[in-house]
Structure 1
């Protein structure tokens, strides 16, 4: 069945490299509006590097990256900054400022990129923290809360400017299964409630199968993408040995126990 949704992000024959060291090449992908697109693969395949390129932190050495049909790298720095305001990013660690309260962390993008008055910013901060279930912790510091709460606080900051494209780097890393499942549900609520498009880097199978509806699989050895599709489709129908091993590894590990 053809997906008729609008393409929000696309790459065509992109190569990512650090000097002479090629991380991935021949990357072509399309992220549809309202989808949850997974970047998958084993350790060292370049998942986080691809995410960094998609948020503008790493310029491809070849190929083209488009946001809503606009070539991201052909414009001026001011034009790229304007496109970046459409992005919300949750880094793997949460990346909260330890010297600030949760409320101050969430307020920071609003203070930097809007002319809103302090009382309006405060109400918006309360709204964002309330959305992720952290309003009672608004005046707490990151050191006073759990890892799962820090991830949710980072998520509240990522949506502070109401972005329509969200990027998550291993959001479930280090979380227990129950907290991870709650975070997955929160991501689904963001997609459904705010109409956001989500790009997620993850190796957590339960999370990938639960929330992602499309994706790309990167291979560390060949340094090219070797599969496209939803995690469930790749699990059930892909015969690539690396993909099969990745998608069935929990079953394989259970068999060895």
Structure 2
């Protein structure tokens, strides 16, 4: 007799009835979902639905007004500051704009978390920087400044910095935003290789359909009007099977825009 529980993927993170608000303004309420270990989980929805706000809460920048955020079964926000810092050391974050320090070289940007948060000696830091940049194909730009590299290269450099402390959880905020289709596809391949090669769990905020369909194996769809999640599943599954009008319009919008001649 097969043990059905043995085949169930392990939950690494979970939001349980989370409400996020800024004063009286509720952004999202009663948000509940699980993120499986080793998955690429997408937070989806139209503009202003609260995708990035969810991400800010998950990386520890915004405390929920209600509900629980669990990491490995422990309530992140109920823990003391010391424990939250320890848990946050497991996080790596790629911000939408890459957020590189313009006055530092690419290598110095990647080195910064190691210099601030570890006791590595300079030689070890340099080796780790070279390793991380090598993983994202950016070793050749180690001594260049952000102003000297392209948008796609900045995203890859930001990804290298997100991996600086060898996190097992990565958060990406619109990683493909502003990139051309070829560069975006290469970044998608890189993200999947990092998941497969490093065993990382990835949470991604994105509205880029080709990227979502390619890399995400689970996700949640947020509605801006009701300020609640209205669909849950892999983007490709939601595209083919979800009959909610808003989800359907979102998942099929590129086909509609092409037929109508829109290019914006």
TM norm structure 2: 0.96
Distance in 1, matches of 2:8 and 2:60, equals 27
Distance in 1, matches of 2:141 and 2:254, equals 36
C-alpha deviations, 1:138-178, integer Å up to 9, x for none? 00000000000000000000001100000000000000000
Distance in 2, matches of 1:200 and 1:42, equals 15
| Partner residue in 2 for 1:18 | 22
Distance in 2, matches of 1:19 and 1:80, equals 24
| 1:198, distance to aligned residue in structure 2 (A) | 0.2
SS in 1 for 2:187: helix
| Partner residue in 2 for 1:60 | 64
- Structure 1 spans left out of the alignment, 5+ residues: none
1:218 to 210, 216, 222: 222
SS in 2 for 1:217: strand
2:249 to 237, 245, 248: 245
| Partner residue in 2 for 1:102 | 106
Distance in 1, matches of 2:94 and 2:103, equals 19
1:9 to 13, 22, 32: 13
1:207 to 195, 211, 216: 211
- Structure 2 spans left out of the alignment, 5+ residues: none
Distance in 1, matches of 2:151 and 2:250, equals 26
SS in 2 for 1:100: coil
Aligned pairs (5 A) from 1:73-84: 73-84=77-88
| 1:6, distance to aligned residue in structure 2 (A) | 1.1
1:160 to 157, 161, 164: 164
1:44 to 45, 48, 69: 48
Distance in 2, matches of 1:157 and 1:138, equals 12
Distance in 1, matches of 2:61 and 2:250, equals 28
Distance in 1, matches of 2:72 and 2:79, equals 13
* Runs ≥4 residues deviating over 2 A: none
Distance in 2, matches of 1:4 and 1:88, equals 26
CA RMSD for the aligned pairs? 1.0
Distance in 1, matches of 2:259 and 2:105, equals 46
| 1:241, distance to aligned residue in structure 2 (A) | 0.4
Alignment size in residue pairs: 257
Distance in 2, matches of 1:164 and 1:69, equals 16
SS in 1 for 2:17: strand
C-alpha deviations, 1:4-54, integer Å up to 9, x for none? 111111011100000000000010000000000000000000000000000
